[in-house]
Structure 1
Amino acid sequence: MSVSIFDSFLTSGDMIAVFDDAAIVQAMLRFEQALAQAQADVGLLPQATARIIAEACDVQRYDVPALIVASRRAGSLAIPLVKELKKTVTAADAQAGGKVHFGGTSQDVIDTAMVLATHEALQLLDDGLHDLTGHLLQLADQHTGTPVLARTLMQPAQITSLGFKFAGWLAPLVRARARLREAGQRALQLQLGGAVGTLDVMGEQGPAVVERMAALLGLRAPDAAWHTQRDEWVRLGLEVALLSGSLGKIATDLSLMAQGEIAELAEPSGEGRGGSSAMAHKRNPVSAMIALAAAARTPQHGAALLAAMGQQHERGLGNWQAELAEWPSLFLSAHGALQALNEAIAGLQVDSARMLRNIGEFKELIYPGSVRDAAEIARPAQRLAEQQLRQLRADITKLSTSS
């Protein structure tokens, strides 16, 4: 996948690699290899034919940029790829060349390749969420009793505890991690239906090929082809969009609390982080900036997935292709935000003395005549934080042990 310099700035090299052009083509070739092997395992093809096809399923043997150019004329990347694969196999064995892609269709190849890539992408998100929830849990434990101004409608409200605020950042991420796993279990399924989803070319052996092929690829076997049934797939994409929104919420609060006039939190400094080319005194919250950029872009990608769901009859015209183009952007943005916030939260600097000074400026307005100190006023929030953190800790442990 080719991304602009500005996209690269907002994501991670690991996620770019998942959706890289060569990686997607290799995933398509994995489909063809698994299809031939599954058919051989159920007796539709000789095992020797499957081995010859497998030997040709190496992306290094193909000109990926040329395939992409050809796909614009053909209408699908699978068409020129299968053509070249057949040429390669036929050169080794003419009879085997005639069995390449037997019973499959272009959408089977591309959808399954995207499922395989998405499996890797979800693991990157899960790993990032594991780290970020761990950092936030540790911070929340350390600051359950640290008083801080709560702010409503962007104005000082009452006194809460910083641990309670951090718990509010943490909870949606724990839920997101669980929901992404649940949605992934449903959506990460093989696509194999043939021309119109009926597996007719493979006859009675079709269902057995589906089961065997899904096992070979480590995917769920679908109840039926889902060529134009995009609900489970789009639901997974929208869970990624929700994650980006939750990361944007954290980034918003962090950036506001890091403002020079507030100065209650600060991202780690050093190694050129957050500098200004014109103002040496500035310390910009660059991690929050990246997460906010991801949150700002995500709604459009999610909306595009929903808009593309009305796919015509048994094969979408234009809307499936639009979905394919939008899909990687959700993961690129989400992982960029996760990586950035992991860097920020792992080295987050908390100025509890500044929090007390900020409280002091407004205490008479909030609690006129009160002789209680801020820590005492924050105690109810502290108790709530401790209660919430016990449950969140248990949820995180459950997720970690089941990964």
Structure 2
Amino acid sequence: MTEIVEDVPTYPMARGKCPFDPPPELDRLQAEEPLSRVKLWDGSTPWMVTRYDHSRQVLADPRISSDPRNDGFPFSTEAQAVNRGQFNAFIVRDDPEHAAKRRLVTADFMIKRVEAMRPRIQAITDGLIDDILAGPKPVDLVETLALPLPSLVICELLGVPYEDRGLFHRLGKTLLRRENTAAESKAASDELRAYLRDLVNRKNEGPADDLLSRLIVEQMRPGDMSVEDIVDMGLLLLIAGHETTANMIALGTVALLENPDQLTDLRDTDDPKLVANAVEELLRYLTIVHNGRRRVALEDLEVGGQLIRKGEGVIVATEIANRDEEAFPDPGKLDIHRSARHHVAFGYGIHQCLGQPLARVELQVVYSTLYKRIPTLALAVPVDELPFKHDMAIYGVHALPVTW
């Protein structure tokens, strides 16, 4: 079990003046105590990993588990602790179970498959921007572009009706809110699971050309997956498939508007390599998963000269690992010309984000299109009046009023 230690900082921590920077306390820990204890909501004191090299080591170590059913797992909220056994997707399992479940959908997110989707993603993006330009201003870029684009793409991929987006947007926000009660989280999960269960049953009666239908035909009908297995898979892919990219589109736009030299370079280029570079740098610079990658040690092991014992929780703070000057010189600067592909914004090791090829293409399309088509794009309110998502597990802005 995790040892209780006194006089350690509480995590998560408050951000400072710059909305794009990790909390100043994480900077201090990285410089002075790169592997140290932090205190969570329940008084437990897991290890906090802040260095880039240590982060990759921990995330790649099979002795470190992602399974919240293990004693000592550092839950981010009471709601997650209470509901720990309700979600059974591969993201919260270790190998070999993790690999077996993940392998079922790996092909759907391979680079070649995703690249074939690029024209469709471009068409969706252009259509949404057409609607923005035809309407009144200012406009909320979250509601008109950042959220609809990845939502429509993941709906088409999974076979989820896009007209039902209001339901899964609402429930997804509830599930990602940091201050939920256990009852609120369970109610949202139950409602979304009921929706997906009904969808799976309807697709079983008439499969279509989509990912959920394929799993039903190839896995459920032969008895290799249950309805609930497919519901778990659908819930993970549906929420992860739109929330992360939506926040990167919006927050990346704010960061670029606040760094006009970088925005100019991106807007004026026709070089796809620079666009791809800009995506990687924005992923590194912003690292929107700002709740730490939660793990627990299955055996005694050593990280950076520090012994971590079996049953002790570990939090990998990728938001500060991506600001490690030993991996990224001048890490507090947004520089779309730097080589940042080795960032850990998508995690690292076996649990590295399955959907990263799709996220990359979506971001490349948006970042190479939006600022060219609306070259005078500007914030409609001061940046310090934007509603940043300090209350959510995925960082971003709740709304982004822009004009031109």
Q: Taking structure 1 as the reference length, what is the TM-score of the superposition? A: 0.28
Higher helix proportion (structure 1 or 2): 1
Q: Taking structure 2 as the reference length, what is the TM-score of the superposition? A: 0.28
- The higher radius of gyration belongs to 1
